[in-house]
Amino acid sequence: MKKLISTIIICCMTLALCACGHTTNEKSSIDYMALVNKLNPLPKGWEKALKTTTMTNSIGDKVEVEKKAYDAYLKLKAELEKEGIYVDLDSARRSVKDQKRIMNDFIKEYGEDYAKKTVAKPGYSEHHTGLALDLYLIINGKDVTENEDMIKYTDIWSKIHKKLPKYGFILRYLKGKEHITGYGYEPWHIRYIDSASVANKITHTGQTLEAYLGKAKDTNVKINYAKSNVFKKSDLEEAVIQIKCDFASLKGYELHSIKYIGDKLNSKKQAIKNKGESSKNKLSDVAIFTGSFHTPKNDSGKLKSDTEYKHYEWWLSRTEDDGWEIIKKIY
């Protein structure tokens, strides 16, 4: 199936429809506006209070979804089909127990450092809520489930995204807001919030859920890729996303700019020198970025509180799978 992208939380996407049973519980309600991300865990008692429906997709995989979110999804799906757009669910709810299993599997396979960078911490994945749905496309009768294939259908995703608010959904991981959400742009990852009016406001103002709830400020980060004879711009863009996703784990920090400082300090020697002991990746070329950000008041981290850092450095190295790994930072 598809590989994890840097943001990773292990996105899935594969299914057509075949509704099955319900799982109900004694507790009656959940907060449909609950924020679950790298800084905010699943609320206590959530899994006991959750009411879900299980459906089977066209490939035969079962997917568990919060009941109202699933009902809204069926209405969205029906309207899209009237316009010749066909989608299905690939994944939705994943229990904390399952997330622990996934994390342990990755630690055994790739090491703890890599696992922590690519798999959402158990208890901190939005998929625990049952309100986060990953879609996949059906094009000319064929399931399109791989991330790298789905991302190419920009026009189709644009049409889908315009329909989301009507049924109480928002696009969760926006392009350019990785430093807020903690994940790269995922056109297939939608979130049910049970309010068409709120979903419409969030969508048409271009806000993240974090900003709407007052948990973060949606700053626009100024990016300067400079000129490189070593890396393609697309490579540097992926490195910047890695930096921004990592930055999202800092509570109250505001990121303002990121700049590639050029090819001069790029070397394999630097990569080996700065390689983390826990890393199992074979590191190669280094890309160094500088940036500016502001720390929050009363910050308990390594940096000074309420301070603007203007020339902060991030060092990243290419890994054997052509990804990026941050090998030097101080926060």
Confidence of residue 183 (pLDDT cuts 50, 70, 90): very high
Provide the residue ranges of all domains of the chain, joining segments of one domain with +. 19-212, 222-328
**307-314: average pLDDT:** 94
Whether residue 17 has pLDDT greater than 90:
no
Rounded CA separation 136/144 (Å)? 6
Pairing of strands 222-224, 254-260: parallel
Whether residue 65 has pLDDT greater than 60:
yes
pLDDT given at position 269: 54
Question: Apex CA 296: angle with CA 299 and CA 41, to 5°?
Answer: 75
What tokens appear for 74 in the block? 């069926």
Contact 322, 284 (CB under 8 A): no
Mean pLDDT of the chain: 86
**128-140: average pLDDT:** 97
CATH number for 19-212 (one of 3.30.1380.10, 3.75.10.20, 3.40.50.720, 3.40.50.2300): it is 3.30.1380.10
pLDDT given at position 284: 65
pLDDT given at position 277: 43
CA 12 from centre of chain: 12
Each residue of 81-129: pLDDT tens digit? 999 999 999 999 999 999 999 999 989 987 887 777 778 899 999 999 9
Helices (H), the chain: 46-49, 67-82, 96-110, 112-118, 147-150, 154-163, 178-181, 196-205, 209-212, 233-247, 268-274
**310-318: average pLDDT:** 91
Q: What is the pTM of this model?
A: 0.85
pLDDT given at position 274: 53
What tokens appear for 135 in the block? 């879609």
DSSP state string for 292-320 = EEEPPTT--SSSPTT-EEEEEEEEEEE-T
Whether residue 21 has pLDDT greater than 90:
no
**3-16: average pLDDT:** 34
Contact 74, 169 (CB under 8 A): no
Rounded CA separation 326/331 (Å)? 12
CA 45 from centre of chain: 24
Whether residue 11 has pLDDT greater than 70:
no
pLDDT given at position 120: 84
**124-144: average pLDDT:** 97
Whether residue 18 has pLDDT greater than 70:
no
CA-closest candidate to residue 52, choices 34, 65, 36: 65
Residues in contact with 50: Cβ distance below 8 Å, sequence separation at least 6, in sequence order? 25, 30, 66, 93, 129, 130
**51-79: average pLDDT:** 96
Q: Provide φ and ψ at 189, rounded to 5°.
A: -95, 105
**195-224: average pLDDT:** 97
